[in-house]
Chains A and B, each alone.
Chain A
Amino acid sequence: MKELIRKLTSVSSPSGREEPVRALIKEEITKHADEIWEDKLGNLIAAKHGGKTKVLLAAHMDEIGVIVTDIDEQGFLRFSNVGGINPQRLVGQRARFANGTIGVFGAEKLEENQKLTLSKLYLDIGARSAEEARQKVSVGEIATFYHEFSDLGERIVAKALDDRIGCAILIEALKRVANPQNDLYCTFTVQEEVGLRGARTAAFGIDPDLGIAIDVTGTGDTPEAERLAIKLGQGAAIKVKDNSLITHPMVKDLLTDLATKNNIPYQFEVLPFGGTDSGAIQLTKAGVPAGVISIPCRYLHTPSEMVDLNDVEAAVRLVVAVMETKLD
């Protein structure tokens, strides 16, 4: 599984440009699904049949990035964000474009560092002139964080674990499921980071009876962290609320009962910010009960996101339990 996660996080696939990771996932799941197709926005859907109830399981393929808005006379790139990027955490980090071009984030001189905004930052790709820069990169191209995968033993660090870890969990569950009891639609969605766009259209197309997203959540277990009752290594998190969703009580109870029955460690999550694909799934057509299985993750939306493999294993088992429980 570590190798799968390493592979999935090694590619650059920002929102709207998910092809590289989609190709990897497709290869992984081909043997394990009854049908595989892509919809018009690029969502990858793997169906596995087993019962009447249509269950949509969603993990998003896309990752955050920066999009070039301007190339100045010296060849420095100005950019805007694709998804939630914190300017305070960019300086000195590297980004990579689809064609392999690497850049480093720099900042203008500022009187007060607190006032750092994206407009004060630039990306330096080592070009000596505008002309040289334009040969490598054009306005409108998107770069993602460039950072290697690190194996810390029980824990791993990589960029884009949000939400390649969810993709890895869904792939692994698809491989492990022996007796699917529901009509499963394992959906690897696009454009989550820019407003749950892929899940919105995928869910409309599938029209499921139940939706479950698999995504990362924040933690409150680091020194002087903002209060949040989520800890790395304490199990899969069952979401109760975030800004996009109040989990349907029936779905919360289903996940809690399955975790308890199968001795899967879990914690409850009330996230005062953020949203996931389930927010969009819930509002599909005449309404779909929806919930989220979350993976606690430190340093969200930085090039070094950290998860605990025990939580990942708990999440895989919980997803498999949903797949193998007859739902009416």
Chain B
Amino acid sequence: MNLETLLMELSAAAGISGREERAAQIIIDLFAQGEGAQWISEFSQDRLGNIILRKQGQGPQPPRLMLAAHIDEIGLIVTEMDQGFLRFSCVGGIDQRVLLGQEVIVHGREDLPGIIGAKPPHLQEPEEKNKAVKLKDLIIDLGLPEEKVRSLVQIGDPITIRRDCCALKNSLYAGKAMDDRAGVVALVDCLRRLKERHHQAEVVAVVTVQEELGVRGARVSSYGLNPDLGLALDVTHGDMPGLADYEAFKLGQGPVIVTGPQVHPQIFKTLKAAAEAANIKYQVEAEVTPRGTDAYALQMAQAGVATGLVCIPLRYMHTAVETVSLKDITETSRLLTEFIMQIDRAFVEGLKCY
């Protein structure tokens, strides 16, 4: 398995929230029959489509650690046919300003290439000129006659941005859906590393669905697995001009370990200690609001789960040019692996003492 290839393939694969099947298939292929099958003890999928990758622990009464990274991406959905053109709405918090001029794929009875168009500047009213085009004024043009559109497309069909991942210099990769396919790659790499290691805890890595619509996949999978502790892997804002230091983190400077009310202090401490012991550079983010990551669902599952959150810095979130560093991804997977090595029954018992 080549991490760069996996990241690029996952980034380009279609999989809006609720319709993750194609991106999910890449993971299923890897773990059900592929190379990854040897890294885990059991593969399964739950009723909402979460992929559950289980690896047994080798200690006495192994505690269960659930890892979560989401495979769904934000995208669009067909709402109406308008004289052969398509009207559409958003699935998840897409940045509407960047939609105009995008190439898309409409996943109808077959995959159809399309473009997002709007009224040309020459024909706009003066008051329209200085404003971003509103979603309701955008249309998708498939280049097909109306009859053909009606036979190939239905209201409710998913639409994804058509975008191949672009390798920039310095191990940076730009593409759509890096949120949170970058986290999924780190999760996969962590399972690969664990193959060589003798760990006490049972590790259940869950590739979750529907995170962007309110952490729905993590909510049901964490209920189903009822873990002793949880760790979510997601992305956080990367540094760029115009952002303050406290709200953005440097690309290439390692994983961001999150602290705040939703993170158990012992898990935060252990993550930092594991990073330091293994010479992994890391950054720290203080987060006081329960943000929209799978950590929120994990923490609130059943009678409550001690939870941690590790994020990969990412620039231009919720656009089609989300940019991450492959170095951060591999360092994140290293951190996860070293953290897992620290977990045993005694650690879980100790969580009750603050």
**Beta-carbon contacts under 8 Å, A242-274 to B:** 246-249, 252, 267-270, 272
If A227-B79, A241-B18, A246-B17 touch, whether A270 touches B89 (CB-CB below 8 Å) is: yes
Which A-chain residue is minimally distant from B135 (CB atoms)? A272
CB of B91 within 8 A of chain A?
Answer: yes
CB of B210 within 8 A of chain A?
Answer: yes
Determine if B136 and A227 form an interchain contact, defined as CB atoms under 8 angstroms apart. Answer: yes
Determine if A246 and B219 form an interchain contact, defined as CB atoms under 8 angstroms apart. Answer: no
Cα distance A268–B154 in the bound complex, in angstroms: 8
Main secondary structure of the interface of A (DSSP, over half): loop
Cα distance A246–B91 in the bound complex, in angstroms: 9
If A241-B91, A268-B155, A268-B156 touch, whether A282 touches B77 (CB-CB below 8 Å) is: no
- Chain B contributes a number of interface residues (CB within 8 A of A) equal to 29
Interface size class of A (residues with CB under 8 A): 20 to 34
Chain B 210-244 per-residue mask, 1 if CB under 8 angstroms from chain A, else 0: 10010011011101100000000000000000000
Cα distance A247–B91 in the bound complex, in angstroms: 13
CB of A128 within 8 A of chain B?
Answer: no
CB of B46 within 8 A of chain A?
Answer: yes
Cα distance A246–B15 in the bound complex, in angstroms: 13
Point out the residues of chain A lying under 8 angstroms from B47, CB to CB.
Answer: 286-289
Determine if B155 and A285 form an interchain contact, defined as CB atoms under 8 angstroms apart. Answer: no
Name the one of B50, B77, B220 contacting A270, with C-beta atoms under 8 angstroms: B77
Cα distance A252–B17 in the bound complex, in angstroms: 15
Cα distance A287–B210 in the bound complex, in angstroms: 12
Chain A 163-203 per-residue mask, 1 if CB under 8 angstroms from chain B, else 0: 00000000000000000000000000000000000000000
Determine if B46 and A286 form an interchain contact, defined as CB atoms under 8 angstroms apart. Answer: yes
Determine if B18 and A287 form an interchain contact, defined as CB atoms under 8 angstroms apart. Answer: no
Name the one of A227, A241, A269, A282 contacting B48, with C-beta atoms under 8 angstroms: A282
Chain B 14-25 per-residue mask, 1 if CB under 8 angstroms from chain A, else 0: 000111010000
Interface centre among A227, A240, A248 (most CB of B within 10 A): A240
Determine if B19 and A246 form an interchain contact, defined as CB atoms under 8 angstroms apart. Answer: yes
Cα distance A246–B217 in the bound complex, in angstroms: 12
Point out the residues of chain B lying under 8 angstroms from A246, CB to CB.
Answer: 17-19, 91, 210, 213
**Beta-carbon contacts under 8 Å, A17-76 to B:** none
Which B-chain residue is minimally distant from A249 (CB atoms)? B19
Nearest CB on A from B87, distance (A): 6
CB of B164 within 8 A of chain A?
Answer: no
Cα distance A38–B46 in the bound complex, in angstroms: 30
Name the one of A229, A252, A285 contacting B79, with C-beta atoms under 8 angstroms: A229
Cα distance A288–B47 in the bound complex, in angstroms: 7
Q: Could you show 5 A-B contacts with beta carbons less than 8 Å apart?
A: A247-B18, A248-B48, A267-B155, A268-B155, A285-B224
